Amino acid sequence: MNIDVIKRIALNAFNASNPVNVLIGTVSKDNPIEIEIHQKLKLTKEFLIMTERVTKYEVDLEHDHGGSSALSAKTPVRTGLKKGDKVVLLRVQGGHQFVVLDKVVE
């Protein structure tokens, strides 16, 4: 068997295993989350692995001027994903799950 045949067999086996791919999707629904890759592929939460960067996170801030009334408010640190947001996705090998890596900023 010549080396080119072996290389071609190895490359075909690698490509058939569906290695990780980077994709861009659009949030089509935010509750429950649904991300559209293209018209025929919409991913629901069962297929998504959400990272910390795309989840909503708020902190409680309290400010006191030494008087009797203190100001307290929830302050957003990360807003989470909203309908229309574009996101970067990594397709996990095998193609059944997608990691939502981050929001695209235009």
Buried b (16+ CB within 10 A) or exposed e, 34-71: bbeeeeeeebeeebbeeeeebeeeeeeeeeeeeeeeee
pLDDT tens column, 77-103 = 888 999 999 999 998 877 789 999 999
Q: List the chain domain ranges.
A: 20-103
The pLDDT value recorded for residue 65 is: 67
Q: 74: Cβ–Cβ under 8 A, 6 or more apart, which residues?
A: 58, 59, 60, 61
Q: Which residues of the chain have pLDDT under 50?
A: none
The pLDDT value recorded for residue 70 is: 67
